């Protein structure tokens, strides 16, 4: 054995050692994933079955959302007109859900509102610089919101009449986005969760919990949007749409997925194959 060959063997052994001499295990992200055909076809069947169940439930989902919005508008005494079936489903929209229509009666906009909003944004930007280092991600998120709202403030300061969106269109589009995310949940989980060796009940549970979370969050979220717009005006609509619309639902979606990935998978090989 030549000295060069010996050196290569030593380097190969050292490459798998940590700085304390322990062996560095292969990270789970680069393990070879065994994908039996039974698990693959079972996962596809599960995603299809859950999608059909969600599609079948869409009339009740739309009715539940409408009743929740109506209840909150009555409790908060928000002036306006509410139509439970105002934004119905067209015949060609096979997967759409019927969402409520809202026409909010708003007060005359305050001409000084952009000034007050601009002052508050300046103060908020300055305050984020005082956050400690571990809270920097929060500071970045807050400053992103400040930039988005600052753009809206400038728009409303110079071209307020050019803003064509309304709280009604915001609620309709936001709820439909949430519904399409619910419909896509089984297929997103198929590509990111079902293919791992989890039991069938674990796959089903994660998808059901995620869909339930989105179904409950959506009416509460947009009822809050309606109340905020009634209090502060349409100037809040851009930041509500971009940061606290479907983005909020996606954050919760990812959080539930991370929780599901921490579940222990069946340890027995028979359970893994059956899964």
- pLDDT of 33 above 70: no
- pLDDT of 272 above 50: no
Domain total of the chain: 1
Q: What angle do CA 219, 63, 253 make, to 5 degrees?
A: 40
In a domain, 232, yes or no: yes
In a domain, 124, yes or no: yes
Among 38, 10, 4, 23, residue whose Cα is nearest residue 270: 38
Q: Which residue segment(s) compose the domain that 119 sits in? A: 35-274
In a domain, 17, yes or no: no
Q: What is the pLDDT of residues 42-53, one digit of tens each?
A: 999 999 999 999
In a domain, 107, yes or no: yes
Pull the structure tokens for residue 218: 């959506």
* pTM, 2 dp: 0.78
In a domain, 24, yes or no: no
Tell whether the torsion through CA atoms of 142, 144, 145 and 149 is positive or negative.
Answer: positive
CB 87 within 8 A of CB 99: yes
Phi-psi group of 89: left, alpha or beta (phi > 0 → left; psi -120 to 50 → alpha; rest → beta): beta
Assign 102 to helix, strand or coil: strand
Pull the structure tokens for residue 231: 């209090």
Q: Rounded to an integer, what distance in angstroms lies between the CA atom of residue 105 and that of residue 107?
A: 7
CB 264 within 8 A of CB 199: no
Tell whether the torsion through CA atoms of 200, 201, 203 and 207 is positive or negative.
Answer: positive
pLDDT category, 194, cuts 50, 70, 90? very high
Q: Rounded to an integer, what distance in angstroms lies between the CA atom of residue 242 and that of residue 255?
A: 19
Q: How far apart are the first and last CA of the chain?
A: 49
Task: Report which DSSP code applies to 112.
Answer: T
* 60-69, 112-121, 243-252: range with lowest mean pLDDT: 112-121
CB 199 within 8 A of CB 81: no
Burial 132-149 (b: 16+ CB within 10 A, else e): eeeeeeebeebbebbebb
- What pLDDT sits at residue 28? 57
- pLDDT of 274 above 60: no
In a domain, 249, yes or no: yes
Q: What is the pLDDT of residues 87-135, one digit of tens each?
A: 555 444 667 788 887 887 766 667 778 888 889 999 999 988 888 888 8
- pLDDT of 29 above 70: no
In a domain, 192, yes or no: yes
CB 100 within 8 A of CB 87: yes
Among 229, 235, 50, residue whose Cα is nearest residue 152: 235
Q: Rounded to an integer, what distance in angstroms lies between the CA atom of residue 53 and that of residue 248?
A: 24
pLDDT category, 37, cuts 50, 70, 90? confident
CB 246 within 8 A of CB 178: yes
In a domain, 241, yes or no: yes
CB 92 within 8 A of CB 107: no
């Amino acid at each position: 054995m030549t000295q060069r060959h010996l050196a290569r063997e030593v380097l190969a052994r050292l490459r798998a050692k940590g700085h304390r001499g322990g062996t560095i295990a292969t990270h789970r992200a680069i393990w070879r994933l065994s994908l039996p055909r039974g698990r693959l076809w079972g996962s596809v069947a599960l995603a299809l079955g859950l999608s059909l169940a969600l599609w079948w439930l869409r009339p009740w989902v739309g009715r539940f959302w409408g009743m929740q919005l109506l209840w909150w508008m009555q409790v908060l005494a928000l002036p306006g007109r509410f139509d439970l079936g105002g934004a119905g489903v067209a015949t060609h929209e096979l997967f759409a859900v019927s969402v409520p229509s809202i026409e909010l009666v708003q007060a005359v906009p305050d001409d000084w509102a952009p000034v007050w909003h601009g002052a508050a944004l300046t103060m908020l930007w300055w305050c984020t610089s005082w956050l400690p280092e571990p809270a920097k991600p929060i500071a970045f998120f807050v400053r992103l919101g400040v930039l988005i709202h600052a753009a809206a403030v400038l728009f409303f300061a110079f071209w307020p009449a050019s803003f064509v969106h309304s709280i009604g269109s915001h609620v309709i589009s936001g709820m439909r986005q949430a519904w399409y995310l619910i419909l896509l949940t089984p297929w997103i989980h198929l590509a990111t969760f079902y293919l791992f060796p989890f039991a069938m009940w674990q796959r089903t549970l994660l998808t059901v919990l995620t869909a339930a979370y989105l179904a409950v969050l959506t009416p509460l979220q947009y009822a809050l949007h309606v109340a905020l717009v009634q209090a502060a005006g349409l100037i809040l609509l851009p930041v509500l749409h971009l940061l606290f619309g479907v983005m909020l639902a996606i954050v919760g979606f990812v959080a539930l997925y991370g929780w599901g990935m921490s579940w222990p998978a069946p340890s027995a090989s028979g359970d893994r194959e059956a899964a």
